[in-house]
Structure 1
C-alpha cells in the first residue's frame, strides 16, 4: 500500500506515467497496474488520463494533498536510516577490558577514528564481563572462551602466552623459586580475570590449577604490574601486556617452563540487532590491527 501511495504521489508530481515509471525504475505497464490496484482499493478514480498528460481528479487532488507530506516524510526517514545502516558514521558504543583497551588496542581506536572521521566512539572499560544486551552497547571485546550462544562473535586475535613474572629486585631479595610448591609460598600478585591460575608444563604437558591467595588482588593488570615492578611479588600476566617491561629488563620470567594457556580475543554482538556499517567497519579494523600486532596475531 505504501509503495502504491508513493507511486501515485510521483505521478502527480512528474505529470506522467512514463516519467514516474522512469523515476521508480519500473516498466510503465507495471506502474499502470499498481495505480489501478490503488484505485480499486479506494473505490474511486484518482487521475484523468489523456494522451499527453495525467491530471488528478477532484478526489485525486484531495488524496494527493493528504498523502504527499506522509510519503515525503517516509522517504526522508528511509534516507536517514540508510545513512545510519550503510555509511560509516555516527556513534559506536563499545564494551572492552580496561587493560587490553588501554594497552595493546590503544593505537587501534586512534587509527580507526583517523580513518573514519564521521564516527564517534564511546568506550566503556571494565575488566569484568558486562551485560552487552542490557547495556545497549553495539559490540563488546572479550577475552577467553565465549559460552553465550545468544551472541554473534568474530575472533580478532589471541594473547599467545601467559607467563609468571617478577622484578629483578624482588628476585634478588627472595631468590628465584625452583618449583610450583615453592611458588605457592611466595608473595603473589593477583589480577582479575586471572584470579585462578592454570599452568601447563611446556615439556611434560602436566597441568596444575589452583586459586592462589595473593598479597594484593586487583581487577587491573596495569596496577598489578605496577605492584610487581615495585617488588611486591610474582604475577601471572599475559605476555601481550608485559612484553615491553620484559624487553627493558624491568621484569624477569619466573619458572618459564610453566605457562598459562593462550587466550582468544573476540568481538561479540547481539544476534537480535542488524549490524550497522560503522560497527562492521570497527570489527574489521580491530581484526586487521590484531593480525599486525606480533603479541595478538593468530
Structure 2
C-alpha cells in the first residue's frame, strides 16, 4: 500500500495520469489499476476523472495533504540510513579473546582508527565465547574452527603454539624429552585450554597431556609472566611470548613436537548486512593479518 500511496501523490503532483505514468515509467493501464485498487481499499474516490480532465476529490485532497509529509519524512529517513550504511563513520562493536585483541592485533585497532577518524570502536574482550547476536556486536574474532553455519566467516590466519619455560626452571627441574615427561613437571595452564595436544613434527605421532596444573589462570599474559618467573612449563601461542623468546627470558622445550595451532577467524551474522564502517574494519583486519608473519605459518622467531 505504501507504493500505491507514493503513486497517488505522484499523480496529484504531476497533474494527470499520463504525466504520472511517464514519470514513474509505468504503463498507463497499470497506473490506473493500482489507483483503483487504492480507492477500493480506502472506500472512497480520490480522483474525479474523465477522458479530458482529472480533478482531486475533497477526500483525495485531504488524503494527499496528510500523506505527503509522511512520505517526505520516510524518504529523508531512508536517505539518512543509506548515507550511514555507506559512510565509514559511527560505532563498531567487536567481541574478541583477550590475548588476541591485546596481543597480536593490538596495533591493528590504532591504525584502523587513525585511518578512519569518524569511526568509534568498542571492544569487549573475554576468553569466553559470548553470543554475538545477543551482545549486539557487529563482528567477532574467534580462534579455532567455526562450525556454526549461521555466521559468515573470513579466515585471518593461523597461530602456532609453543611450549616454553624459564632457564632457571630448566636448570632446577631438567628439560622434558617427550610430552609424557610433562606429567613429572610443574605446569602452568591458561584457560580455556585445559589439556595440551602434541604432534611429532617428523613421525606425526600424537600425544595428549592432561597434567595437574600448579598454576592455573584465565589470562595468557599472566601465565607467560609466571613462566618467566620459573613457576613451571607453559604451552601458549607464540604470539604472546615471542618477545620473551627473543630476549631469552623463556626457552622453547620439546622443539620436535608441535604443541598446537589454531586458525583465527572474523565472524559476523549471516542475516546482517555489513555497513561500510564494519566492512572497512573487516578489510583492515584482513590486510593487517596478511602482513603479520606470526599469523601466516611462523612457528618461531627465525621463520
TM-score, scaled relative to structure 2: 0.85
Q: Cα distance 1:32–1:297, how it changes in 2: closer, same or farther (>3 A)?
A: farther
**CA separation of 1:5 and 1:155: change in aligned 2, threshold 3 A:** same
- Residue 87 of structure 2: aligned partner: 87
**Deviation readout 1:71-100 (Å, 9 max, x if unpaired):** 122223322332343333322221100010
1 CA distance for matches of 2:182 and 2:127? 26
| Residue in structure 2 matched with residue 198 of structure 1 by the alignment | 197
How many residue pairs match? The answer is 296
Please give the secondary structure, in 1, of the residue aligned with 2:295. Answer: coil
Against the structure 1 CA distance between its residues 77 and 218, is the aligned structure 2 distance closer, same or farther, given a 3 Å change threshold?
A: same
Aligned in 2, Cα 1:113/1:46: closer, same or farther, shift over 3 Å? same
Aligned pairs (5 A) from 1:138-177? 138-159=138-159, 161-177=160-176
Written as runs of structure 1 = structure 2, the 5 A alignment for 1:251-270 is 251-270=250-269
Distance verdict in 2 for CA 1:23–1:250, change over 3 Å: farther
Can you give the 5+ residue segments of structure 2 that lack an aligned partner in the other structure? Answer: 298-303
> Counterparts in 2 of 1:43-58, with a 5 A limit?
44-47=44-47, 56-58=56-58
| Residue aligning to 1:224 | 223
Q: How far did 1:44 drift?
A: 5.0
1:165-189 per-residue CA deviation (whole Å, 9 max, x = no partner) reads 1122322333323333333212211
Question: Is the 2:47–2:57 contact (alpha carbons within 8 Å) kept by the matching residues of 1?
Answer: yes
| CA shift for structure 1 position 123 | 0.9
Pick which of 265-274 and 195-204 moved more. Answer: 265-274
Report the counterpart of residue 119 of structure 1 in structure 2: 119
For 2:208, the equivalent position in structure 1 comes to 209
Q: 2:182 touches 2:211 (CA, 8 Å); kept in 1? A: no
Correspondence 1:100 to 2:100: yes
Q: Which range moves more in the overlay, 43-52 or 74-83?
A: 43-52
Asked if 1:281 is matched to 2:260, the reply is no
Q: Which deviates more from structure 2 when the two are superposed, residues 92-101 or residues 7-16?
A: 7-16
* DSSP 3-state at the match of 1:176: coil
CA deviation vs aligned residue, 1:188-211 (integer Å, no higher than 9, x gap): 111112221001111111111122
Q: Give the drift of 1:112.
A: 1.9
Q: Structure 1 stretches of 5 or more lacking a match? A: none
Cα separation, 1, equivalents of 2:115 and 2:17: 45
- Aligned-pair CA distance for 1:145: 2.0
